[in-house]
Amino acid sequence: MQSLKTLLNERFGFAAFRPYQEAVCRAVADGRDVLLVMPTGAGKSLCYQLPGLARGGTTLVVSPLIALMEDQVAKLKSQGLAAERIHSGRDRLSSREVCRQYLLGKLDFLFIAPERLKVPGFPEMLSKRELSLIAVDEAHCISNWGHDFRTEYRMLGQRLPAFRPTPVIAMTATATPLVQDDIARQLALQEEERFIHGFRRTNIGVEVVEASVGERARIVKEALSLRVRRPAIVYTPTRKEAESLAEELASVDTTAAYHAGLSASDREAVQKRFLAGEIAITVATIAFGMGIDKADIRTVIHTALPGSVEAYYQEIGRAGRDGKPSRAILLHSFFDRRTHNFFLDRDYPDPAVIEKLYKALSNEWETRAAIFKKVSKDPHLGDDEVFDRVLQKLCVHRGAESDFDRGEEGDFEERIRRGRAEWKAPYVAQRDHKRSELDLVARFAESHGCRMVALVRHFGDQEDSGEPCGICDACAPNKCYVRKFRLATPEEQVAMAEIVGALVERPNYAVGRLYRDVFEGSVIDRDRFEDLLGALVRARIVELENDEFEKDGVTIRFERASLGAEAAKAGTSLSSVEIPLTDKRSEKKRSRRGSRPVRTTEGARVEKGARAVPPWLKRRAKSAGAKK
């Protein structure tokens, strides 16, 4: 092996490693299996490219997207390295030539999609030479618990043993501890070293705004109105919204829509123009972003709740790779859950529907067409797309086995037969996990503390300081682009004083219990209480900590409140504490709810404007009277 530092300088043009890179490169160069979880833009690619070059021979890179492969290959070639790729976008003659170069030992790097390993004869071709390293990029795709799960990635664990003892490095920017364990298990990593760090992005300020669907286009235009806030990526939940919002933003700057409904050539054109600076704003579905290495993206906006915290973190990580101040804005409302639930029910069908297909399978091999014919009259399985989706779930969870064989006309065709009967439990667990991901991202949007600290903790970064970032909407309300605040009214100051008083009496209060004990039966409803509690958290008068417990096999997550570092301020004045403004529709909804008569814990009616005496205060007065 050549010296890593010498190669770093001579072949890649870097004078020194970025933080954490050197330890990873040394472990991989020494031939150890490695699991690397490092945020987008932190330099993961070097962690397989440098040691792969140092080990000599060919490094096989499994990559999920054509755009990602093309970008990586182009960069390696520009550095004088022999890199090639095989994917569906290349013609057969070009792919054959790449295989020939590989067999002659002329390639430093060979990029393939995971589907390529299913092609009959291709794994055998690779096995004719010993690979120096196998790099699995976007490794979270292999896990049932990952936010971007792909069936083809799940099958990697069955195919990699043929290339052992070649070392494996699995890389991703988004993997919780649960996903990390699953990646290691599925790839059968051997005594792997794990490097999980660097999740804090010190230059990205996260801002979360509750907004109705009708207000979001206006908010996005306002956020991107200043030139310094562009280039920008705006993520929308549907293709239709991407198209309509792109039209509206055309009055701000050069704008284009990007989604899976466009042709491959149109998508490629949008991506190239955005990277070249010809387009200032790309309005896209989540189909856009993987492999986008544009250093000067200033703003990333989500116009609806993302599907998971992992997906959200990966997408905002495309901002500010040049290290300059950048912003991530998340717009959300309860309505967003409906959209996600629709897609979840579509992508993860009811287990009873999957059971129907399982029973229709035979223990003998059958073609896909023959199986579809058997179930085509079923109202749930008669649709071709639904059938494919259900069959995919069965294959992933081993309820079905698939293989390829030559058909009558000489072409390879897929054959399927019944698999193991124990497919249902892991499938239901995966389905439930996807739903829990929605709960977690909703909790993130509705949380009150430092946004970056919440993200760092989600990924289990053990080396992070835990200090507030100082630039998000919770840490620095005055730096917000679109979220507005106002000073607390005298009535709100009284209510906040009651919260502080309850925490003096009872530290480590569960937030739900805190509301019930102090405000239940008063005109302060739960939404208003959350606003007041969040204001105290931003002022560092109150701190929140996540907690959970198990009940009937279900994990119940909640928050605990305690006094914060600036709690002494509450003893003098709360007049400087700021309350967030919500959009007009939310304010009207809250005012209607607050104007209805409610009942106190004693059953007496309380009209709007009245204040019930909080139970904790009654208990303290009662206790004081007893002592006298």
Q: Output the 3-class SS for 126-170.
A: HHCCCCCEEEECCHHHHCCCCCCCCHHHHCHHHHHHHHCCCCEEE
Asked if 154 and 142 touch (Cβ cutoff 8 Å), the reply is yes
pLDDT given at position 592: 39
**Strand bridging mode 605-606 / 598-599:** antiparallel
What does the alpha-carbon distance between residue 89 and residue 98 come to, in Å, rounded to a whole number?
Answer: 14
Tell me if residue 82 falls in helix, strand or coil: coil
Q: Which fold has domain 204-334?
A: Rossmann fold (3.40.50)
What does the alpha-carbon distance between residue 337 and residue 438 come to, in Å, rounded to a whole number?
Answer: 8
Check for a shared fold between 4-196 and 204-334.
yes
**Ranges of the chain whose pLDDT falls below 70:** 1-2, 146-148, 287-292, 405-412, 462, 569-572, 582-628
Structure tokens at 145: 């618990």
Residue whose token pair is 């235009």: 221
pLDDT given at position 609: 38
pLDDT digits (tens, 9 = 90+) for 504-542: 988 889 999 999 999 988 888 898 899 899 889 888 899
Task: Tell me which H or E stretch contains 83.
Answer: strand 83-86
DSSP symbol at 585 = H
**Strand bridging mode 326-332 / 204-210:** parallel
DSSP symbol at 306 = -
CA proximity to 328, closest of 289, 355, 369, 274: 289
Which CATH code for domain 484-627?
1.10.10.10
pLDDT given at position 601: 33
What does the alpha-carbon distance between residue 419 and residue 364 come to, in Å, rounded to a whole number?
Answer: 10
| Backbone φ, ψ for residue 335 (5° rounding) | -60, -30
Residues 6 or more apart in contact with residue 546 via CB below 8 angstroms: 457, 557, 558, 559, 560
pLDDT given at position 589: 47
- Bridge partners, residue 579, by sequence: 486
What does the alpha-carbon distance between residue 175 and residue 463 come to, in Å, rounded to a whole number?
Answer: 16
Q: Where are the domains of the chain?
A: 4-196, 204-334, 484-627
**CA dihedral (45, 298, 18, 474) positive or negative:** negative
Instruction: Give the DSSP letter string of 215-235.
Output: GHHHHHHHHT-SGGG-SEEEE
What does the alpha-carbon distance between residue 73 and residue 67 come to, in Å, rounded to a whole number?
Answer: 10
Exposed / middle / buried, residue 255 (Cβ in 10 Å: 0-12, 13-18, 19+):
buried
What does the alpha-carbon distance between residue 446 and residue 330 come to, in Å, rounded to a whole number?
Answer: 11
Judge: domain 4-196, CATH 3.40.50.2300: no
| Backbone φ, ψ for residue 197 (5° rounding) | -170, 175
pTM (global) more than 0.85: no
pLDDT given at position 33: 96
Task: Tell me which H or E stretch contains 485.
Answer: strand 485-487
DSSP symbol at 583 = P
What does the alpha-carbon distance between residue 247 and residue 257 come to, in Å, rounded to a whole number?
Answer: 9
Asked if 594 and 519 touch (Cβ cutoff 8 Å), the reply is no
